[in-house]
Structure 1
Amino acid sequence: MDVLRIDDRLTDEERMVRDTVRTFVMERVVPHVPEWFEDGTFPVRELAPELGKLGLLGMHLEGYGCAGMSAVAYGVACRELEAADSGLRSFVSVQGSLSMTAIHRYGSEEQKERWLPRMAAGEALGCFGLTEPDRGSDPGDMLTRARRDGSDWILNGAKMWITNGSVADVAVVWAQTDEGIRGFLVPKDTPGFTTGDIHRKMSLRASVTSELVLEDVRVPADAMLPGAQGLRGPLGCLSEARYGIVWGAIGAGRSCYEAAVAYAKTREQFGRPIGAFQLTQEKLAWMEVALGQAGLTALHIGRLKDEGSVTPQQISFGKLASVRAALDVARQARTVLGANGITLEYPVIRHMNNLESVLTYEGTQEVHLLTLGKAVTGLDAFR
């Protein structure tokens, strides 16, 4: 159904990644994810070593057991993971693009050697503590504080909406200090560090979402990430995660589109398949156009990233465009399926609910719009 045949532009290696991940999710995730979504569970400890064995955790990073693959290959993997469920892609993104990237890019050699090989193998899990209960889009105003006490640091504060929070072996926690914002590695068993899962979610139910609480958490001096100071550190990691969403959302949209096309060919009304009616074909055609445009954008941004020339504004463009396209496709697909579109027998309502979260995490739609507005006008509307 890819009229533009975008995947023909992939390299052999990128197509190999596509096929490997697609086979994995079809065998290990797709048959079970409706039940996980309904029950609000995600077997992260079971799946993590399998994802590690496939080289998907931190797959764009070099060394320390990481696969060192291209940005486009990573994007294709994210697309296939999110075609199964946004929660699965979120886990891989938080593990690789946020937690592992923070350590890989800003950590000491000892920190890299201690954590990255085990994280790449799925033996150790990480989370990324940036968002706070009332500080989502303005992390520079975070309330979490770290103060020196001799050679140690004492951390106090709370983080909210943290994927993998309660299952992580190490948390990358960002805090205000007298030197500006710094990052710290906080192992899960550190005294004063506690987590609590967020329940009653109607979106990303097949995902672990937690609150982190730090009460006089004492960590040694070597827990600080030496290469990160100021907001540039966490924002650099967020750009990596947003890039994965540029591709991932297309996978969720594609899953809804495929379900709608298959249903339209078999569901009969007034004596013929509903896919034979003009209004249904119009819906399907617009879905094809939306996903084709998003796919071309993702591939272009991926090639720019592999060249080392991509900008945060371009990633904002892609994240905004892909998620909006996927959400529009999901909503249209739901109308094609009618009442069947609201059941977990089909993937549409699950993806649609998940995409409502994807629309606002890693930068809300409004934040990305204003990022593009600043790029266009040169005027900052944030402050």
Structure 2
Amino acid sequence: MTGARFDRTPAEQGLLAQGQAIAEAHPRPAGRPLDGAELRAIFRALAPTGYLASTLPREAGGQGLSAAEFCALCEGLAPGLTLIGNHSVQRYLQQFGDAAQRARFLPALLEGDGVGAIAMTEPQVGSDLERMTTTARRSGHGYVIDGEKTWVTHGLSATLIVLLAKTDHGLTRFLVPGDAPGVRRIAMEPVGLRHLGFARLAFDGCEVPAEWRLGGEGEGLRGAKAAFPIARVIAATQAVRIARAAVAIARDYAEGRSVARAPLAGSSLVQHGIAHLSARCEAVSLLCRRVADDLQAEDVVATASAAKALAGELALDACRWTEDLLGSTSLEAAHPLATLAGDARMMAVVDGTSVLNHLVVARRLLPVRGGAA
């Protein structure tokens, strides 16, 4: 893998600024998910940047963003609009959809008029997809889907769902319109990232035509692992932004507070904490950029996992340390740090927990048969 760059290209700087401007223009609501209209307004604002087509080649409508450029744009959106987007839906449509499917569903997603969602995780199943219980059985000229999915990002507002279900030939992807009969949405109450509209989706005799099957039967996991590195480095990049925001709150508090007539910012304990967290932010940020610069590297799965693990831990540590510094000041639900702390807890789990990602790194360093994915 190539060495890390210590500076951004002009294109990356511009995309970072665009992300920040969009996040500032569309502040997320406090304590509730973005509704469909709010989400589509954000997507329409993002469409010209290439964000919605980031996983597509130029000939399919993409704007040719490099991974590093896309990460810079994602960094600018955080922490306000962390993890917003439906890139995997576009990627699956482009890679595995036929011409009719792409023509029907892609334009709305790329223009920001549609909201995509991925429905894979099930209650009591987690990442062990072989234990999945959602089924798609053949019926006439299509399939009947029964089962339940959970932790579906944008599940409350999705106009198109990419669903993973079991057929007689194995795990298979399907395209399910959000308003299809037999689809029921149940709102979830996460500790953080509430703007993402997480939902449980229940499928009760949901009928879909055979032409909405995405790829062949038994090909539901095809291409899934290839997306792990970019997904993890994006999550890591945005987790670092959460950490930086927490450190900024700590710095502002210390500069405006006095204890025993002495400025809190002059305390060596406070100085050490802020300096240490800031240094960790810089180090993990450089690791993220190193991963994004060379997604084809032989060790990219391990380094992306390392970045995600370190960034998730950093976000938690920064929020906890700042909570200790602020004391009761930070305990009100409306305090910005409360939002960051909830988001940090979520980011520590999204795209693999620290334990899982450390195991991926260990498998690279100590190769044995089997191991984490």
Q: Please report the TM-score for the alignment, with normalisation by the length of structure 2.
A: 0.90
Provide the C-alpha distance between the structure 2 equivalents of 1:145 and 1:28, rounded to a whole number of angstroms.
39
Structure 1: runs of 5+ lacking an equivalent: 1-5
Cα distance change on mapping 1:319 and 1:252 into 2, 3 Å:
same
Computed over aligned residues only, the root mean square deviation of the Cα atoms, in angstroms, reads: 2.4
Equivalent positions of 1:6-155 (< 5 A) are 9-29=7-27, 33=28, 36-39=29-32, 41=34, 43-63=38-58, 64-84=60-80, 88-92=81-85, 95-96=86-87, 98-155=88-145
Bigger shift: 262-271 or 44-53?
44-53
Equivalent positions of 1:209-228 (< 5 A) are 209-226=198-215
Identity within the alignment, %: 24
Cα distance change on mapping 1:312 and 1:149 into 2, 3 Å:
farther
Provide the C-alpha distance between the structure 1 equivalents of 2:249 and 2:9, rounded to a whole number of angstroms.
27
Equivalent positions of 1:185-264 (< 5 A) are 185-199=175-189, 201-226=190-215, 229-264=219-254
CA deviation digits over 1:296-350, x for unaligned, max 9? 1101000012x56563332212211111112111211222333323346653221
Bigger shift: 229-238 or 120-129?
229-238
CA deviation digits over 1:45-98, x for unaligned, max 9? 3322222244322334224443331101111122221222xxx22222xx11x2
Specify the SS of the correspondent of 1:66.
coil
Provide the C-alpha distance between the structure 1 equivalents of 2:10 and 2:312, rounded to a whole number of angstroms.
27
1:376 is matched with 365
Which of these residues, 281, 287, 298, is aligned with residue 277 of structure 2?
287
> Is the 8 Å Cα contact of residues 132 and 165 (structure 2) preserved in structure 1?
yes
**Aligned AA (2:45):** E
How many residues get paired? 365
> Is the 8 Å Cα contact of residues 6 and 286 (structure 2) preserved in structure 1?
no
**Aligned AA (1:75):** C
> Is the 8 Å Cα contact of residues 83 and 253 (structure 1) preserved in structure 2?
no
Specify the SS of the correspondent of 1:128.
strand
Provide the C-alpha distance between the structure 1 equivalents of 2:353 and 2:78, rounded to a whole number of angstroms.
19
Cα distance change on mapping 1:192 and 1:238 into 2, 3 Å:
farther
Specify the SS of the correspondent of 1:157.
strand
Q: CA deviation at 1:358?
A: 1.4
Structure 2: runs of 5+ lacking an equivalent: none
1:352 is matched with 341
CA deviation digits over 1:147-203, x for unaligned, max 9? 22344122221100111112111100011222221111111222222222113x332
